[in-house]
């Protein structure tokens, strides 16, 4: 039996009450469980930075089905710049109030990055729809990288 030298497997990390999974080659999945605090945002940001260190692009699926509240201090911490490798953010399970908060954070980021669209969250009803959109973003990103 031939065993490959390195096998890339999905990674799973607990960040406080929340969870981040990584699916190779470039998909991070954040699953919220309860309220998100400023400390949680710090853990999430550190994990995203870690994932971005090893790749040129990162696509993010954010599952807010289990979300409680996004605490005020978490909102301001989330509005700071994120790694530039992020190429698309798809959100599922966000209620109306959470969409309003996330959109407000996005507007703050758009001011910093001149609105190039990478950080604009797109909301979807199902994970399948979100993944399909992220796949489309990935194909577009790969196509741009191949141009001379």
Phi, psi angle pair for 126, to nearest 5°: -130, 160
Instruction: Indicate whether 35 belongs to any domain.
Output: yes
- H or E segment and range at residue 88: strand 86-92
Angstrom distance (rounded) from CA 86 to CA 27: 10
pLDDT of 80 reads 77
Q: Quick: pLDDT tens for 89-104.
A: 999 999 998 898 888 8
Q: Quick: pLDDT tens for 54-77.
A: 888 999 999 999 999 989 899 888
> What's the DSSP call for residue 16?
T
Angstrom distance (rounded) from CA 99 to CA 58: 22
Provide the number of structural domains found in the chain: 1
46 vs 147, higher pLDDT = 46
What CATH number is attached to the domain comprising 71? Answer: 3.30.750
Instruction: Indicate whether 56 belongs to any domain.
Output: yes
Give the pTM.
Answer: 0.85
Instruction: Indicate whether 137 belongs to any domain.
Output: no
Q: By residue range, what is the domain housing residue 17?
A: 12-124
H-type alpha helices, the chain: 38-53, 72-78, 96-113, 127-146
Instruction: Indicate whether 62 belongs to any domain.
Output: yes
* Residue 64 near residue 91 (C-beta atoms within 8 A): yes
For the residues 81-91, what does the mean pLDDT come to? 85
């Amino acid at each position: 039996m031939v065993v490959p030298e390195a096998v890339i497997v999905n990674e799973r990390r607990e960040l406080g009450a929340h969870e981040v999974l990584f699916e190779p080659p470039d998909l991070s999945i954040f699953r919220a469980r309860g309220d998100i605090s400023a400390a949680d945002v710090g853990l999430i940001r550190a994990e995203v930075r870690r994932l971005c260190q090893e790749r040129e692009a990162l696509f993010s699926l954010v599952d807010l089905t289990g979300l409680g509240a996004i605490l005020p201090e978490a909102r301001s911490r989330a509005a700071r710049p994120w790694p530039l490798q992020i190429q698309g953010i798809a959100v599922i399970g966000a209620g109306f109030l959470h969409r309003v908060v996330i959109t407000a954070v996005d507007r703050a980021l758009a001011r910093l990055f001149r609105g190039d669209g990478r950080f604009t969250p797109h909301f979807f009803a199902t994970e399948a729809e979100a993944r399909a959109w992220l796949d489309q973003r990935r194909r577009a990103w790969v196509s741009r990288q191949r141009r001379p």
